[in-house]
Amino acid sequence: MNLAGFLLLLLTAVCMAVANVLMKTGIAQAGGFAPNISAALSLLRQPAFVGGFLLTGIAALMWFRILSTQKLSTCYPLFVSLTYSLITIGAFYFLHEKISTQKLVGLVIIIAGITTVARG
């Protein structure tokens, strides 16, 4: 994977992480979610949810570009692990979720894996 591909992948992962934090915030502000029209309309009135939803679409377009130019066996593991790590960090800082020692150790292992895969 070249530097441009990695940077696009990183930007895509950041967009997905921000999108998930925004959607989680919007769902909480709407009072939760149930699979019905009323709940869906309630979510559409939440700017955080709408912003996260739109950002997911933008990230999908960037992901399509990555798929067209990079090896799937390299980019997908990097994307998933980066997104997981960034969402966990975002949930800690912005949603005030707790990170256990076990989860922290797992994140360190994931980051070591990201480094290994990115170099391979």
Q: Over 90: is that where the pLDDT of 57 sits?
A: yes
- Determine the length of the chain: 120
Cα 120 to Cα 50: distance, rounded to the nearest angstrom: 37
pLDDT, residue 113, reads 81
Average pLDDT, the chain: 92
Q: Over 80: is that where the pLDDT of 10 sits?
A: yes
At 20-44, the pLDDT tens digits run 999 999 999 999 998 999 988 999 9
pLDDT, residue 114, reads 76
Q: Over 80: is that where the pLDDT of 50 sits?
A: yes
Q: How confident is residue 120, by pLDDT bands cut at 50, 70 and 90?
A: low
Cα 58 to Cα 98: distance, rounded to the nearest angstrom: 29
Is the four-CA dihedral 30, 31, 32, 37 of positive or negative sign? negative
What integer is the mean pLDDT of 96-109?
Answer: 91
What integer is the mean pLDDT of 69-77?
Answer: 89
pLDDT, residue 7, reads 94
How distant, in Å, are the alpha carbons of 24, 39, 91, 116 from that of 47? 12, 15, 18, 38
